[in-house]
Every structure is written in C-alpha cells, then in structure tokens.
Amino acid sequence: MALTPDATNKLKNQSPTALGLALVGISAPALALYGSKGVAVLFILAAIASLYTLIAQKSWRLSIPGPLGLSLLALVLWGVASLTWTVSQNLSWSLARTLPLAMAGGYLIVYSVKQLNPVGLHFVGRATVFGLSLGVILAVADIASGYALSMAMQILRKGGEWTSYMPGFVINNGVTVLVLFLWPVCIFLFNHNRRLAALVGVAAVAAIAAVSTSFASIIAVAVGCTSFALAYLVPRHIYKMTVAGLALLFLASPFFMTALPDARTIGKDLPELDYGVYPRLVIWQYASNLIMEQPVTGYGLKTSRTLNTESEPIPFVFMDNGKLEHGNTNAISLHTHNGIIQLWLELGAVGALIGLAIILSVLHGIKNIATSATVKALLYASLLSSVCLISVSYGLWQSWWMASLWLQGALITACLRSKDDSAAT
C-alpha cells in the first residue's frame, strides 16, 4: 500500500532519531520472535541515527555525566581492568573491545530521545504500540497453530528439517522482548487515556507468557504486575522497599545459593517448582561456589564459559506427578543464566556493587520523576520485571539482550515524555 501524501510528509518531518526508534518499536517485537539477533542490528541502526541527529542538529553539549552515566563508565573501566587478571585473555578481550561501544551507543540513544520534540515522541510511541500489537498477533498465531510458524521459519532459514525438541523454545527470546516492550506501550497508552487498551495489552502478553515455554517471561510478568500494584497502593514505601530488595538481591545472591541444600537433590524436598528451575539451581550453586574462591575481583570479563571443570553433566532429581525423575545439566555452558551471579563470577564483588549502582541510579530517577501515580507504578513494574529477567535467564553480555534492555529504556523515555495527542498535532 502506497503512503498517502500526509503520511509521507510526516515521515519527512521526523528526525533520524525518531525514525530509528520508530523502526525499533514497529519491528523489534516481531523480529525477536524468529531472529532475536536482529534486535542488535536495530540497536546499531538506532545508535547511528541518534549520532547523525546530534551532529547534524548540533544539539549535543559536554556535561558531567549523572549517576547512571558514571556507573556505566565504572562498569566498562572495571571490565577492561579485568584483562589484567582474567583466566581467559581471548574471551575477555573480545568483550572489552565491544562493551564500551555498546554502552556508549545505548547512552547516546537515550540521550538523543530526550531531545525529540512532541511530534517525534508521539510518532515513536504510536509505532511501539503498533509493533507490540503485531508481535502479540504473531505469537498468538504461532502458539495456536502448534508453532507452525516457528517450524516454517526454521526450515526456511536452515534449509532442513524441524529439529527442535521443544517447539515453543524457538520463540522464547521473542516472548521476553514482548514483556520488555509491554511497559513502554502501557505508559504511552495511559498517558493518552487509553487505559482499557493498556489492560488488554497486559492480559495478552501475560497469556502468551503463561502458555509459552519461557519460564523467565512468566515470572517477569508476575513480578511486573505485583510491582505495579505495590507501587500504586503504597507509593510512600515502595522506594525504600525496592532499594532494600535490590541491595539484598545483588549483594547476597551467591551467599544465599551456597547456603541452600544441595541443588542436585533439592527437587526431592521442593517438588512444586517448575522443571526449568532445577537445572538453574544447579548452575547457580556451582557458580556461587566458584565465586567464594575469588570473591573480590572475579575471574575476568566473559569468562563464565571457561569455568566448568566438570567433564560430565551434573545429575539432579525432580518430582513429576509424584514420581522421582532424573535429569542433568552442564555446570556452566555459555553463561550462568543469571546476570547478577554472572557479575559476581566474572567481576567479583566490585562488579556486583557497580551493577547495583546502575540499577539504583535508574530507580532514583523513577522516584524523582514528575508524573502520575499510575505511570510511576508502571515505571517500577518495568524496572523490576527487567531485573527479574536479568536474574533468571540469559547471558548478561549477549548482544541481543543488551540491545533489548537499552532499547526498552529508550522507548520508555520516549513514551513517558509523550503526554497527549494534542501535543503531536
């Protein structure tokens, strides 16, 4: 369908930053379902568009970074410093070369979004709503068809037969991105008095997560909704509660894991847990024991995959319908499936403290922002659901995952600042 003259003029009047973020909002949810690495490509395009806009419009200025910028800089510097003690020079160096660019690119995108005018902000927000809707439709169609779309996409991509033993696993990353993008969409819709549409969006994404095989997404939606309720009902106490909870999570995670009963047999005593929890407990406990051997500095950036000294998978037991079953998992495969424990393992207590400082900087910004009680509660939901995802799945340095978190932050910034339809006319 050809663009109308009015639509063409609207596109021409948008800045490269607005066009780049609108492209992210429209395409990232659907793209992530079948090719999550494409989110990293969108991130690069958005960063280039933001850089071009700032240079062309001369809208940048030198200033002292705030707490978030300083915390991110500290993470980069400490990660690069780990090259001096890393157990794998090659792996650490491979990330040390790209991490500064990733952090600078993300920071640049968010900064550039803050320079957008009301028309650009509204344009990005509407694109994000459309993109999430498209992603939800595709996910529902895929799940309802027994993952026929996933099968077709894999066959086309690989030119072979369907090989996945868990069909739903193919779209897990995409379901996670739906959860991430849900919150900026809700913020935009609430800011534009579309509350029913926001509730429908929450229900749709929650339903997709519930019937998917993405354990992390199920927990993240639950945490997000609970956080929203608490922030809305007890706004005076939510900040202190969140600070205390995050501090405990970041500083005590490895100590808590080592204090648990043996993860290899814990399934006998806790049969109610989801099957996916048991291998994670084994991995987290194994990694935590390694942390205790080098707790201050860790083993070096991106070295998690080299620290498995077990020649065979580790067995564990779990209960299934009252019957004792056996499974096994690698002690650590590519990463720990827990970003906080990964920080401890690779960058030690110093890295964990820096990670906590980054999260608390975002939290402090949420506390001080001037907005409605509902939108502020949605900001708490977005932050804590993202922390949940960081804590139970994915490698911290996966390119698509870092890109997704940065793009979520940029879209939240845009949707938060887009106040009403009249501002975009």
CB 180 within 8 A of CB 400: no
HSE (CB half, 13 Å, CA atoms) of 273?
16
In a domain, 352, yes or no: no
CB 258 within 8 A of CB 345: no
In a domain, 361, yes or no: no
Say what the pLDDT of residue 5 is. 46
Tokens 């998690």 appear where? 304
Which residues span the domain enclosing 161? 15-70+89-244+377-389+404-424
Could you tell me if residue 133 is left (phi over 0), alpha (psi between -120 and 50 degrees) or otherwise beta?
A: alpha
Residue 86: Cβ-neighbour burial (10 angstroms; 0-12, 13-18, 19+): buried
pTM above 0.85, yes or no: yes
In a domain, 329, yes or no: no
pLDDT tens by residue, the chain, 425 residues: 344 444 455 666 788 999 999 999 999 999 999 888 999 999 999 999 999 988 887 766 666 678 999 999 999 999 999 999 999 999 999 999 999 999 999 999 999 999 899 999 999 999 999 999 999 999 999 988 888 888 777 777 666 565 554 556 678 899 999 999 999 999 999 999 999 999 999 999 999 999 888 888 999 999 999 999 999 999 999 999 999 999 999 999 999 999 998 888 888 887 777 777 888 899 999 999 999 999 999 999 999 989 988 878 888 888 777 777 788 888 888 889 999 999 999 999 999 999 999 999 999 999 999 999 999 999 999 999 999 999 998 999 999 999 999 999 999 999 999 876 443 43
Tokens 């979004």 appear where? 113
CB 92 within 8 A of CB 301: yes
Q: Among the residues of 82-214, which ranges form H helices?
A: 89-113, 118-144, 148-158, 172-191, 195-211
**What are the CA-CA distances from residue 319 to residues 263, 272, 347 (Å)?**
14, 8, 36
46's enclosing H/E stretch is helix 37-57
Total structural domains in the chain? 1
In a domain, 236, yes or no: yes
Rounded Cα distance between 380 and 366, Å, is 7
329-367 burial: b if 16+ Cβ within 10 Å, else e: bbbbeebbbbbbbbbbbbbbbbbbbbbbbbbbbbbeebe
In a domain, 31, yes or no: yes
Could you tell me if residue 236 is left (phi over 0), alpha (psi between -120 and 50 degrees) or otherwise beta?
A: alpha
Question: What dihedral do alpha carbons 291, 331, 314, 214 form, nearest 10°?
Answer: 120
15's enclosing H/E stretch is none
317's enclosing H/E stretch is strand 314-320
Closest CA to 409 of 372, 382, 389, 370: 382
Say what the pLDDT of residue 56 is. 83
Residue 52: Cβ-neighbour burial (10 angstroms; 0-12, 13-18, 19+): middle
CA torsion sign for 359, 48, 375, 172 is negative
In a domain, 140, yes or no: yes
In a domain, 66, yes or no: yes
Rounded Cα distance between 423 and 345, Å, is 48
